[in-house]
Chain A
Amino acid sequence: MKPESKLQHHPREEERAAEEHQHTRETAAREFATPEELLRHDAALTTVPPGLAARLSESARGLPGPAPWWRRWLRSGAP
Chain B
Amino acid sequence: MVGSLVSQPIAQREGSDAPETGFEHPEFGRLYLEHSRAVYYLTLRFLGDPQQAEDATHDVFLKAFRHLEKFRGEASWRTWLYRIAINHCRNLQQTWHRRHLVNHAGDALWETTPSAGESPLRALETKELGLRIQAALDGLPAEYRLLLLLIADERLSYTQVAALTDQTADAVRGKLHRARKAFAQLFHQSA
Contact = CB atoms under 8 A, between A and B. Distances in A.
Interface in B106-140: 117, 120-125, 129-130, 133
Interface string B148-191: 11011110000000000000000000000001100110010000
A78 interface: no
Interface stretch (B60-68, B74-82, B96-104): B60-68
A54 interface: yes
Contacts of A34: 121, 180
Query: Chain B at the A interface: mostly helix, strand, loop or mixed?
Result: helix
B122 A30 contact: yes
Contacts of B37: 43, 46-48
Interface residues of A, number: 41
A62 interface: yes
A56 interface: yes
Contacts of A71: 2
B180 A57 contact: no
Contacts of A60: 4-5, 23, 62, 65
A9 B27 CA distance: 65
A10 interface: no
Chain B: number of interface residues, binned into ranges: 35 or more
Given A46-B44, A48-B57, A39 B69 contact: no
Given A28-B124, A61-B6, A66-B3, A52 B36 contact: yes
A31 B58 contact: no
Query: Which of A35, A47, A60, A64 gathers most chain B CB within 10 Å?
Result: A35
Contacts, number: 143
Contact of A42 (B69, B122, B129): B129
A20 to B, nearest CB: 10
Interface string B7-27: 100000000000001111101
Nearest to A36: B152
Nearest to B38: A43
8 contacts: A34-B121, A35-B180, A39-B152, A52-B40, A57-B22, A61-B6, A65-B1, A66-B69
Given A29-B123, A31-B123, 5 more contacts: A30-B122, A61-B7, A66-B3, A66-B27, A67-B2
Interface of B: 1-7, 21-25, 27-28, 32, 36-38, 40-41, 44-45, 50, 54, 57-58, 61-62, 65-66, 68-69, 117, 120-125, 129-130, 133, 148-149, 151-154, 179-180, 183-184, 187
Interface of A: 27-43, 45-49, 52-68, 71-72
